[in-house]
Amino acid sequence: MKFTEPFIFDAIRTPRGLGRAPKNDKPGGSLSSCAPHELVVGLIDELDKRNSGLLENISSLTLGCVGQVKSQGGHLALICRLASDIPNHAPVKTLNNYCVSGLTAINDAATTVQAGKDGFLIAGGVESLSSVGFLGDNASYYSDPKLSASLNWAPPVMGAELIATIEGYSKRELDEVTLKSHKKAAIAWQNGSYKDSVIAVKDNKGKILLDHDELIRQGLTAEKLGSMPPAFAEQGKLGFDKMMLDKHPALDAIQHIHSIANCPGMADGAALTVIGSKAAGAAVGLEAKARIIAAIETAGDPIIQLTAGFDAIELLLRQTGFSIHDFDRIEFMEAFASPLVKFFRTYDPDIDKVNANGGHLAMGHPMGATGAILLTTLTHELERSDTTLGLVVAQAAGGIGSAMIIERI
């Protein structure tokens, strides 16, 4: 059977706003007044402006979103289509694959193109954590200790603490990669590295609400990070430490060393990519930015959780014959600091090629959008740096992983 190659024709995102709703006298994040679908529709409008003939040739819209309740409930992709100029005959899908959701949506679109689907597919994700808080869908196993124990479910930060314990990382090592992420992000914004990929969010009167990533800590130092205490020991005492130790009996105790700063901040944001065949682009005169070479999704240990991205890397490297040093740029999801330290220790990549413009530790984590944000950043960074081969890696709670290799055209 002959497969059609999937291409990326465009990729854009919103800035990431502080994922906090207004409360008492405290203001919310700069995007907290925006409904989640409004973030997506603004990007759809921008894609239409940038790509003549796109919307009338849209074959589907697929969106990742994790907290599918309240303003993110119902069928969010459908609401986005109804609120935009995407034709009503375009099928839509809203999916939840936790923090890998945005990349899963893009992978689904690429697979559909491979199967011969005509036209363009818009895929990505959105999350407004100021509207629907973390674990805001209130699944029963979030708060029922007996049920969570029977399912081997733990909050994702517990997986980060387990990685640090097994590997023997120090808080100083976590602080080092955290500080590096903030410094890279600040420099990237100063140098205009995000000017082609980040679209300012405006209100209905055209006023700019946010045009930059809001969570970057200017002036952060190693001393400030060092003074921030570990934050999750009490959570471990709720039964999660015991769960992890039962699975890893060689450990005497779980070392809780992640501070709040060693975690990606809660954020609002959205990202979209345009996926299609070369023929789809030729039909309307659009040129592709990159080719999707390979993609894979993995499932693994639900307790350590955040090593599933490593499983995806290994499968892709075996499938394609590449080594980690073949990639000109790598976007590795900064799902807490310890997985990032593990990535550097495991593969010893050129540190300047990994998250070259900062990562989630600095700029925040709008969960359903994260995978699409990473791919958007990678697509534009290959162009900006005049390089060719890129890898994007994401991982999520419950042992979910995903990775994709792209080649700049």
Q: Which of 237, 238, 269, 276 is nearest to 253 (CA)?
A: 237
CA distance 204 to 212: 19
- What pLDDT does 3 receive? 81
CA distance 372 to 39: 14
- Tell me the average pLDDT across 244-267: 98
CA distance 182 to 214: 12
- What pLDDT does 308 receive? 98
* Mean pLDDT taken over the chain: 97
Each residue of 168-185: pLDDT tens digit?
Answer: 999 999 999 999 999 999
* SS3 of 77-104: HHHHHHHCCCCCCCCEEEECECECHHHH
- What pLDDT does 1 receive? 53
pLDDT at 390 exceeding the cut of 60: yes
CA distance 56 to 63: 19
Two tokens, residue 149: 């124990």
- What pLDDT does 285 receive? 96
pLDDT at 2 exceeding the cut of 70: no
- Tell me the average pLDDT across 340-358: 98
Higher pLDDT, 368 or 3: 368
Each residue of 6-46: pLDDT tens digit?
Answer: 999 999 999 999 999 999 989 999 999 999 999 999 999 99
Cβ atoms of 14 and 31 closer than 8 Å: yes
Each residue of 58-113: pLDDT tens digit?
Answer: 999 999 999 999 999 999 999 999 999 999 999 999 999 999 999 999 999 999 99
- What pLDDT does 218 receive? 87
Each residue of 36-67: pLDDT tens digit?
Answer: 999 999 999 999 999 999 999 999 999 999 99
The residue written with tokens 């603004």 in the block is 42
Q: Helix H segments across 124-193?
A: 140-143, 145-151, 156-167, 171-190
pLDDT at 377 exceeding the cut of 90: yes
- Tell me the average pLDDT across 397-405: 98
Residues in the chain: 409
- Tell me the average pLDDT across 150-159: 96
Two tokens, residue 297: 């999704």
The residue written with tokens 């007996």 in the block is 146
